[in-house]
Chain A
Amino acid sequence: MKGEERNIAIREWWPLWTFLLIYLCTWIWGYSAPESLFPNHLPPFSQVNGETLFLGTTLDGKSMFHAIMYGGRMSLGWSLATTASLGLLGICVGGWMSFLAGDQKQYGPFQLIGTLIGFFLGAFYGFVLRKYDILLASESGLGNVLGQLCLSLILFLGIAILFTRMGKWLDKKLEFQWAFSWEEFWLWALQVLDSLPVLLLIITLAAVFQERSIGLIMALIALTSWVQIALLTRGLILKERDLPYIEASTMLGYSRFYIFRRHLLPNIMPAIFVVLALTIGRVIVAESSLGFLGLVEDMEGLGKLLSISRPKPQYPWLGILPGIFLIIVLLLIHVAGERLKLFGDKK
């Protein structure tokens, strides 16, 4: 019985296993960057020194197979890491926004004044006075900058929250408060972020910072694409929250966080995984498109591999072979997403 189950799992989830197998292959054959050992732009199945290069060589004499494997490892690795982090961010923000839904906070004039004063003082002591320290730290490594920035942020938030709380306390004493919901504001902000043209935003930032590194590009892709996951998570939680079993566990006295962790999260995860699978595909396409446009200079990804061979109509396989690898990966991700959707529906 158990063996049969295993067989079914292998048969049902073949796209996932194949994808993992391909990723493993890219680690085996693309562990290190290929070197220019062969004559340039050989066609597929040509023989050099008794060795058959069954995908030919690139424009600068690297084995095309190894170049694709290395580029694939780089592109896939960065895309998977980015998707994981943006998915985590999206789920956290979505969960937090679902807590906000229908939640009305009491606000008063003194709290507003306190927030403004706290913001002003926090910005002054946290960032304006510490400008020189942060600038100095930027010369001695990323860790120091992050440390200084964290210190500044703690100062800023501490002062801002302190004054806000003081204002709130005054408001409560004077009993002069009115209700306000943050939900609509955050929804609006997320929708604005979602409607920006991502590719152009990334080009703008790359131009201003004059940096064309994969780290910056991936950070920007993550920054602009977590919004959809956050909105989806929020919608799913709101839908699930009204179901009777949640009500029952609330009645039993469990905390909101416990219910979120034990009941809500496992039930909404399949739907989120479907969207995450689609997001991986989108991130891979975005990353290789930007590489193709020449915005990634410090990584030999698939996009760069394709862009180098672009103006060479006499060697068409240079432009075709890396793309075929890319398309196989994207199709596998797509089919895996469809399987996941079916799995979620069956449940």
Chain B
Amino acid sequence: MIIPAIGLVSWLVFAISLNQPDDPLDEVYQQMLNGRSEVFVKGKIKQKSELYHLNKPSFYFAIQSVNAPDTLHHIVFKRERESAEALFYRFKNWVNVHLFRQSCYEWLTVLRAKKDKSLRGKNQLRNSLNLLRIPAEKLDQIPLLIAEIKTAYPNETAISSLEASWRQLTHSPNSFSFYVPRMKWNGWDNQYHLWLSGILGCFDFGASLLNETPVADNLGYYLGYTLRFTLISLLIAYGLAIILGAWLASASQKLGQRLLDKGLIVLDAIPAFWLGTLLLLFFTNPHYPNLNIFPHSYLPYERLPWKHFLSMVLPFVAYVAGMLTVLTRLVKTSLQQILAEDYIRTAKAKGLSMRQIIWKHGLRNALIPLVASLASMFTFLVSGSVIIEEIFNIPGMGSRILQSLLNGDIPAIMMFFSLSAVLTMLGYLLTDLLYQWLDPRIRLQSLKK
């Protein structure tokens, strides 16, 4: 069941990422506007489209009309592609759209051959390039743009042919074949297939939009920090919850127990980000010299080993506090249920002490619901690590994903999201397996099925 789920999630992530408004080639477009040489621009386009698979169709198949273009994906500029598509859906005739684009390109080569370095040349170069990338809602501006270019460069045959092709496009006849559907098979050489096979084959999540290095470069480093903090705090939280829950479940109603019960409710209400802020404000604040015992951000081991351990205390407190209430209440309620059972009464009658009963008989059975909570705790940790790592400056996955969000680095964000989705799903799988291993009744049920 987990493999189709991961497939579904990967497809969702990819479909979402296709809708990003940014184009990795925007930078190249700026260089084109500034009049860089054609050889340079072409080389850059080729390099970038190989890096990000820009000249490939996006999915295995596409639904389109019969006279739609086969090879629209060869237009590597995103806005240019969208503009061409909009022209096609507006005038319903790809041949004329193609002729119009062709004459645009012819005019561009003429314009480039002029090597006009004046302001007029620059403006008209921008206008001519804009002709090809007008957004869908502004298609009516195309004749205005052509007229502007014509006033700047009168008596050019290329412009007259451009005008003629535009007129031909706007007067193109309504074709019936536009309304006939067709399923286009793109083959294996598509963006989704390359992305997924890169991940599954060699753990390659694509190149970063920032510096073109693979996004998975330092992944082990970040993942190591996140896993270290989450797993250790998971252990601490479960240990504490078992001890506190066992203490709360024993029948005596001491003042400390009642206080702990109320305190846990308050602890549950404190959001992680405010707890982190409070801890930072009180224990790392140079204005309170008596309380200022911890460093205010994570410090690596190499420089100051003692400070390294001190700097890990507050993050652990924040992590554990988020889970402690739920877990302790779980242990308490399940222990209370078990302590009411018959075999506990037998144990009491045998003369065992309360401590022996709880630790030997009670806890072993109370562990089963605790194991069931493991998956949701893991999900909570993966989500919560974003906030806690950000507050305490831990160089883990969570703070990286926020940085990629600020930089607009979509491939990195896709990688972090799909990794954490897989991690949480593996957590669910692990919980199921542990559950079956611990409770023979469940194992028998699944065998019967």
A residues within 8 A CB of B420? 197, 200
Contacts known (A132-B86, A135-B137, A196-B9); A124 close to B181, Cβ less than 8 A: yes
Bound Cα distance from A124 to B183, whole angstroms:
10
Decide yes or no whether A48 CB sits under 8 A from chain B. no
Q: Does B5 lie at the interface of the complex (its beta carbon under 8 Å from any beta carbon of A)?
A: yes
Is A170 engaged at the interface, CB distance under 8 Å to the other chain?
A: no
Q: Is the CB of A203 within 8 A of B386?
A: yes
Partner of A120, one of B136, B183, B268: B183
How far, in whole Å, are A101 and B399 apart by their CA atoms in the complex? Answer: 43
Judge whether B287 and A313 touch: CB under 8 Å. Answer: yes
Task: Indicate if the CB atoms of A208 and B19 lie closer than 8 Å.
Answer: yes
Is A131 located at the chain interface by the 8 A CB criterion?
Answer: yes
Of chain A, the residue at the smallest CB distance from B266 is A331
User: In this assembly, does A192 line the interface, its C-beta being within 8 Å of a C-beta of chain B?
Assistant: yes
Q: Which residue of B lies closest to A292 (CB)?
A: B273
Whether A293 and B278, one on each chain, are in contact in the complex, defined by CB atoms closer than 8 angstroms, is: no
Contact of A207 among B64, B282, B413 (CB under 8 A): B413
**A293 with B387: CB separation less than 8 A:** yes
Contact A204 B63 (CB under 8 A): no
B9–A313 contact, CB under 8 A? no
State the CA gap A138–B137 with chains docked (Å): 9
Does A88 interact with chain B (Cβ within 8 Å)?
A: no
CB contacts (< 8 Å) of B281 on chain A: these are 313, 316, 319-320
Interface string of A132-151 (1 = CB under 8 A from B): 10011011000000000000
B323 → chain A closest CB, angstroms: 14
Binary B-proximity of A183-203 (CB < 8 A = 1, otherwise 0): 000001000100111111101
**Chain A neighbourhood of B181, CB < 8 A:** 120-121, 124-125, 128
Is A288's beta carbon under 8 Å from chain B?
A: yes
Residue of B whose beta carbon sits closest to that of A331: B269
Determine if B197 is an interface residue (Cβ-Cβ < 8 Å).
no
Complex contacts, B284 vs chain A, CB 8 Å: 313
* B383/A195 in contact, CB under 8 A: no
Complex Cα–Cα for A292 and B272 (A)? 11
CB distance from B358 to the nearest CB of A (A): 26
A interface bracket (residues with beta carbon within 8 Å of B):
35 or more
Interface centre among B1, B64, B413 (most CB of A within 10 A): B413
Interface centre among B64, B281, B390, B416 (most CB of A within 10 A): B281
Q: A197-B382, A199-B386, A289-B271 are in contact. Are A310 and B277 (CB under 8 A)?
A: yes
Q: A204-B414, A207-B413, A208-B19 are in contact. Are A135 and B274 (CB under 8 A)?
A: no
Query: 1/0 per residue B15-42: CB within 8 Å of A?
Result: 0110111100000000000000000000
Looking at the assembled complex, report how far the CB atom of B335 sits from the nearest CB atom of chain A, in whole angstroms.
20
Flag whether B437 is at the interface (Cβ < 8 A).
no
Interface core residue of A188, A207, A288 (most chain B CB under 10 Å): A207
Q: Which residues of B contact A265 (CB under 8 A)?
A: none
A303 within 8 A of B: yes
> A123 on the interface (CB 8 Å rule)?
yes
Render B419-433 as a binary contact track against A, CB cut-off 8 A, 1 for contact. 011001100100000
Cross-chain contact B89 with A197 (CB below 8 angstroms)? no
A192 touches B137 (CB 8 A): no
Q: Is there an interface contact between B8 and A192, defined as CB atoms closer than 8 Å?
A: yes
Rounded to whole Å, the gap between the CB of A97 and the closest CB of chain B is: 18
Q: Are A288 and B273 in touch, CB under 8 angstroms?
A: yes
What are the interface flags for B89-132 relative to A under an 8 Å C-beta threshold, 1 for contact and 0 otherwise? 11000000000000000000000000000000000000000000
A306 at the interface (CB under 8 A from B): yes
| Residues of chain A lying within 8 A (CB to CB) of residue B425 | 195
Q: Which residues of A contact B183 (CB under 8 A)?
A: 120
Given A121-B181, A135-B86, A203-B402, residue A196 in contact with residue B137 (CB < 8 A): no
A143 CB, min distance to chain B CBs, angstroms: 16
- Docked CA distance A135–B65 (Å): 18
Residues of A within 8 A of B271 (CB): 285, 288-289, 326, 330
How many Å lie between the Cα of A290 and that of B401 in the bound state?
14
B274 touches A195 (CB 8 A): no
Chain A positions within 8 Å of B, measured between CB atoms, are 120-121, 123-125, 128-129, 131-132, 135-136, 138-139, 188, 192, 195-201, 203-210, 281, 285, 288-289, 292-293, 295, 303, 306, 310, 313-314, 316, 319-320, 323, 326-327, 330-331, 334
**With A124-B64, A138-B137, A303-B273 given, can you name 7 additional A-B contacts, CB distance below 8 Å?**
A129-B178, A132-B86, A197-B382, A204-B16, A310-B277, A313-B284, A316-B287
3 interchain residue pairs of minimum CB distance: A132-B89, A199-B383, A124-B181
Q: Write 8 A-B pairs (CB below 8 A) sorted by A numbering.
A: A132-B86, A195-B421, A196-B9, A200-B420, A206-B405, A289-B272, A320-B278, A330-B269
